[in-house]
Amino acid sequence: MTRNKVIFAAICCLFSFSMFAEEELVKFGNFDSWITRSIKESVLVGGKTQTLYEVGPKGTFDGARAYTNQGGSPWGNSNVYAKVAGVVKTNVSVFPDKHQGGQCVKLSTHIVSAKAIGVINISVLATGSIFLGTLLEPITGSSNPMSKMSIGIPFTKRPKAVKFDYKYNSPGTERIRETGFSKRQKVSGKDLGQALCLLQKRWEEADGSIHALRIGTMLQRFSQNCDWKEGQTYSIHYGDITGESFFQSGMNLMSGSNVFYALNSKGKNVPVIEEGWAEPDETPTHIVLKFDSSHGGAYVGTIGNTLWIDNVKLVY
């Protein structure tokens, strides 16, 4: 290789590296610090004491009481303290696990059962999810699960990509829908793990409704079982991407049952209505970042689907 070619190759490598040189760890995104919650369920559903896990500064938050994010942690998850008609029940689908000499987050799709002879006998499929935002406890019913989560946090930067470590395992068995109030149904298609990042420009109207334009989009779905893949980087695409070759339906504007909710200035959790695509040079007001062990929405997935995530960073 000639001297000029060597110089050119070095410049190209330097330029390529500089595009992704600046990285910012999302707060508590190394998942090495956890809050444990000890909650005793009602005698009617067995009376066991369950341990729930939250991402935040190491500590405890015990008792059947509504959890709010602690220590500045931006992370909420699908572990649930529910109180329905006075009956306390929990769901645990998010756990700490080991990785690289520290800890990571493990997301699992499983069945949650509540059984008491002659009174309660229901089973619900629950997906392991972790997201920037908060879960609004206590959960008092199973209708419209998205309305129980406030998803997205204030954010005004323009990252190029999301970077994280992951491991994925699916048993490859059938995909089902189980709501607890109807027979188990088989759902076509393969269940997938999912990582989603959205950049939005949100505003609130006088009536308290929240609207948004979509600025940036990243969607990555996992279909192949694998051991840990470290430092995987996925680009955030700006502006209207509907005509791009990489576009897939899950990247579209949120609508119907897939709409995310957020707390408005009045303290009410309302749908975030995406009105359209923003110009690619717009500055966001909020970021949505969410990881799921199953991609099909509420009560849909494959029992045993598991996604591990660690070291979540934004790349500039």
Q: CA 262 to CA 253: how far, in whole Å?
A: 16
* pLDDT (0 to 100) of residue 182: 80
Domain assignment of residue 169, given as a range = 23-315
Residue 7 covered by a domain: no
Residue 221 covered by a domain: yes
The average pLDDT across 141-145 equals 86
Residue 8 covered by a domain: no
pLDDT at 257 > cutoff 90? no
CATH number at residue 144: 2.60.120
Computed over every residue of the chain, the mean pLDDT equals 92
Residue 17 covered by a domain: no
Residue 165 covered by a domain: yes
pLDDT band at 14 (very low <50, low <70, confident <90, very high): very low
Higher per-residue pLDDT: 45 or 208: 208
* pLDDT (0 to 100) of residue 116: 63
pLDDT digits (tens, 9 = 90+) for 59-94: 999 999 999 999 999 999 999 999 988 999 999 999
Residue 18 covered by a domain: no
Which region among 21-25, 90-94, 166-170 has the lowest average model confidence (pLDDT)?
A: 21-25
Residue 10 covered by a domain: no
